Amino acid sequence: MAHVSITINGRMRKADVEPRLLLVHFLREHLHLTGTHVGCDTSQCGACTVLLDGRSAKSCTIFTVQADGCAVTTIEGLAGDGRLHPLQEAFWEEHGLQCGFCTPGMILSAVDLLNDNPTPSEGEIREAIAGNFCRCTGYQHIVNAIQHAAKKVARP
């Protein structure tokens, strides 16, 4: 067993874990943060995307022990003060989701994008979400939602 201390959604979490335990399974099975999904087990789909020290990362490719001392944000940690994050609002307003399975990963990838580039072009958005698969939509509404959120955040 290995001891880890990880700040998850602003709260310090300490646990003893098997060294081979993937972060996605720690989040889902130990902390019951089920917004982080397991979609493919091969890091192809992006459903398990979280923010690790502010950068998007596929939690199915990271051992929990590798996140020791880090800050992890899941979809559950984005909303604050009873309000949705601007990207969560935009996905709702622009119909950027259908079944919702890929949505947490898409939103967290988009958070990382907008942190780096607050006014991305459509091409830059498509490139940023290329590691996230959606099996329901044609991606246009997802792109529209990210553009909408960028405009909302840019307003004074």
- Measured at the alpha carbon of residue 121, what is the angle toward residues 118 and 126, in degrees to the nearest 5? 105
Which regions of the chain carry the CATH code 1.10.150.120?
A: 86-154
The dihedral through the CA atoms of 89, 95, 96, 102 has a sign that is: positive
pTM equals 0.95
Averaged pLDDT, groups of 10, the chain, 156 residues long: 98 98 98 96 92 97 98 96 95 94 97 97 97 91 97 77
Amino acid type, 14: K
Q: Regarding beta strands 2-8 and 71-73, do their DSSP bridges make them parallel or antiparallel, or are they unpaired?
A: parallel
Query: Inter-axis angle of helices 140-154 and 103-116, to 10 degrees?
Result: 40
**Given the structure tokens 């996230």, which residue do they identify?**
132
User: How far is 49 from 60, CA to CA, in rounded Å?
Assistant: 8
Topology annotation, domain 86-154: DNA polymerase; domain 1 (1.10.150)
Instruction: Choose the CATH number for 2-77 among 3.10.20.30, 3.40.50.10240, 1.10.3720.10, 3.40.50.720.
Output: 3.10.20.30
Amino acid type, 3: H
The whole-number pLDDT of residue 46 equals 96
User: How far is 99 from 142, CA to CA, in rounded Å?
Assistant: 13
The whole-number pLDDT of residue 42 equals 84
The whole-number pLDDT of residue 156 equals 56
Which regions of the chain carry the CATH code 3.10.20.30?
A: 2-77
Residues 8-17: contacts with CB under 8 Å, at least 24 apart: 8/33, 8/71, 8/72, 8/73, 8/74, 8/77, 9/33, 9/72, 9/73, 9/74, 9/76, 9/77, 10/77, 15/64, 17/64, 17/65
- Determine contact, residues 102/131, Cβ cutoff 8 Å: no
